[in-house]
Structure 1
Amino acid sequence: MPTILISGAANGLGAAFVEAYRSQPETRIIAIDRSPLKTPHDNVHCHTVDIADEDSVNAFAQDIKGHPIDLVIHSAGIRGLVPSAEDRHPNNVAACETMEVMDAATMTRTFQINALGTFQLFRAILSNLKAASNSKVIVMSSRMGSIGNNQVPNKDAGSAYAYRASKAALNTIVRSFAADVPEVCFILCHPGRVETKLVRCKEEGAITAEESVQSLLPLIERWRKDDSGKFYDRFGETIQW
C-alpha cells in the first residue's frame, strides 16, 4: 500500500491533493496541518503539526517512525503579507507586501514557515523516504521565487519581499536536499496562481486548487530521479532560477 504525506492539508492545494488521492485504491494518506484536521475517510490519517516548530515536527517524526513514505506533497506555506496592511487593504494583495510596508516580523515569520519549516520537516522524515523505493518529494514553490523572473519588463516583478525571498530560500534548500539525498527525487513546482486562504481576496487570474491539482497529477506520476532538483510550472515547463 503506497503512503502519501500531504502537508498544509487543511485547505487550498493540500486539501485538494487529499481529495484527489484518497479515492485511489490501496493508498494511505498522512495529512498534516498546524490546524486540527478531521476526516471521515479510513485511509486518511490526520496529524496536527506546526512545521515551524521543531518540537512539533520531531514529535510527528516519532509518531511515524519506521513507516516508509512513497510520496510527499509539500504545500504548507504562507504568503507573507503585513497583517496591519492587510487589515487596511483586504482586497489589495500588492499593497500588503511593498517595500514601504514590509516589516521584520513579517519577513521572519515567512522565512520561518516557508524555508526553515520545509528544512525541518524534510530532515525529520528522511528515514521514512529512504525506507521506500523510488520515493518522491513534490514541493509547491512559486515562480515568484525565481530570481531570473523578477526583473523588468516582467509586469509582476518587484515587491512581495517576504514571499519572494522565502521561496527563493526554499528553492535553494530543496536543491541541496536533491544533491545530498540522491536516492530520493525532489521536485520544485509552481502550481499557478491559485485561489487559497493565503490571502483574503481572490487574486486576478487565480485558478481553483482543484484545477491546479488536476494539471499536476500526471506530472507527479511522470517525474523521475532524472528530474530531481529541477523547477517546473504546472504544465511541465522549466522555470529559470
Structure 2
Amino acid sequence: MKTVLVSGAANGLGEAFVEAYRTQTDTQVVAIDKDAIDVQRDNVQPFTVDVTDEKSIDAFAKQLGAKPIDVVIHSAGIRGLVPHLEAEKRGDVNACETLEVMDLATMMKTFQINTAGTFLLLRAILPNLRAVEHAKVIIMSSRMGSLGNNFTGNRAAGSAYAYRASKAALNAIVRSFVVDVPEVAFVLCHPGRVETKLVKWKEEGAISPGESVAGLLPLIERWGAQDSGSFYDRFGETIQW
C-alpha cells in the first residue's frame, strides 16, 4: 500500500489527482486544502491545511505523525491577478497582471502561497518522505516560471509579474531541496493551461483538469531519482530554466 499526498485537493488539478488516485486499490490518499474537502471514500483522508500558516502546517505534520509518504503531488497555488481588476475585466487575464496595474499586495500574497507555502509544507513533511525508499515530490509549477521561456528569439512574453516571479522562485527553492535532500526525488512539472479556479473564468485553449492529470499519471509513475531537479511539461518534454 502506497500513500499519496495531494495538496490543493478541494478543486482543479488537486481534486482531479485525488479522484484518479482514489480508484487505485493499492493507494491511500492524504488530501489537503485550505477549504473543506468534500470526499467520502475509505482510502481518502482529508485535512484542512493553510500553507501560508506555519501553525496550520505544524498541526498537520503532528497529525501525520510518522506516517510514510511515497508520493507528494503539490498543486496548491494562485494565479496572482489583481483582485479588483479580475472582477472588473472578466475574461481578460492580461489586463489583470500588467506592469502598470500590479500592486504590492497581489505580489506578496502570490509569493506567500506559491513560493513560501511550498517551502513550509515540503519542509514539514520531509520526515514522512525520508521514511520511504525512493519517495518523490511532484510540484505543479508553470512554464511561465521559466526565465528562458519569457524571452525566446524574437518572441517576448512579459507581464504576469506576480505569477512568473513566484513560480521562478518556487523553481529555485525546489532545486535547493534537490541538493539538500538527495534521498527524495523532486520534479517540477508544467501541467498545461488548465481550467481551474486559479482564474475565475475559462481561458481560451484551457484543458480540463482530468485531461491534464490523465496525461501526467504515467509520467509521474515513471519519474524517479534520475529526474530529480528536472523541469518538464505535461508531455514529458524538458522546459528550459
Q: How many angstroms apart in 1 are the aligned matches of 2:26 and 2:216? A: 21
Matched with 1:159 is: 159
Partner of residue 50, structure 2: 50
Counterpart of 2:104 in structure 1 is 104
- For 1:94, the aligned partner's letter is N
Name the structure 1 match of 2:200. Answer: 200
Q: After TM superposition, what 4+ stretches of structure 1 lie above 3 angstroms from structure 2?
A: 152-156
Cα distance in 2, alignment partners of residues 154 and 233 from structure 1: 22
Amino acid at match of 2:15: A
Aligned amino acid, residue 117 of structure 1: G
Instruction: Indicate whether 1:179 and 2:179 are aligned.
Output: yes
SS in 2 for 1:20: helix
CA distance in 2, matches of 1:154, 1:131: 48
CA deviation profile, 1:202-231 (whole Å, cap 9, x unmatched):
111111100000110010011110100110
User: How far does residue 108 in structure 1 lie from its aligned partner after superposition?
Assistant: 0.1
SS at match of 1:172: helix
Q: Deviations over 1:75-114 (max 9, x none)?
A: 0000000001112101111110001110000000000000
Structure 1 residue 118 displacement after superposition:
0.2
Q: Give the structure 2 partner of residue 73 of structure 1.
A: 73
Change (3 A) 1:69 1:154: farther
1:131 corresponds to which residue?
Answer: 131
Cα distance, 1:156 vs. partner?
Answer: 6.7
- Matching residue of 1:116: 116
Structure 1 CA distance for aligned equivalents of residues 209 and 27 of structure 2: 21
Distance 1:115 1:108 in 2: 10
How far apart, in 1, do the equivalents of 2:30 and 2:90 lie? 33
How far is the alpha carbon of 1:153 from its aligned partner? 5.2
Any idea what SS the aligned residue of 2:106 has? helix
Closer, same or farther: CA 152–88 of 1 in aligned 2, 3 Å: farther
Structure 1 residue identity aligned to 2:19: E
Displacement of 1:155 in angstroms is 5.4
Q: Secondary structure at the match of 1:91?
A: coil
- Corresponding residue for residue 235 of structure 1: 235
What amino acid maps onto 1:227 in structure 2? D
Give the match for residue 141 of structure 1: 141
Instruction: Give the 5 Å matches for 1:24-35.
Output: 24-35=24-35
Asked if 1:8 corresponds to 2:8, the answer is: yes
2:38 aligned partner? 38
**CA–CA distance in 2 between the matches of 1:198 and 1:38?**
19
TM normalised by structure 2 equals: 0.98
How many residue pairs end up in the alignment? 241
Q: Deviations over 1:26-63 (max 9, x none)?
A: 21100000001121211100000000111100110000
Instruction: Indicate how the Cα distance of structure 1 residues 154 and 118 shifts in structure 2: closer, same or farther if over 3 A, else same.
Output: farther
Which amino acid is 1:128 matched to?
N
For structure 1, the 5+ residue unaligned runs are none
- The alignment partner of 2:50 has SS state of coil
Residues 154 and 74 of structure 1: CA distance in aligned 2, closer, same or farther (over 3 Å) = farther
Other structure's SS at 2:16 match: helix
Aligned residues: CA RMSD: 1.0
User: How far, CA to CA, are the matches of 1:184 and 1:155 in structure 2?
Assistant: 36
Percent of matched pairs sharing the same residue: 67
Q: TM-score, normalised by structure 1?
A: 0.98
Gaps of 5+ in 2: none
SS at match of 1:178: helix
Rounded to whole Å, the distance in 2 between the matches of 1:153 and 1:161 is 21
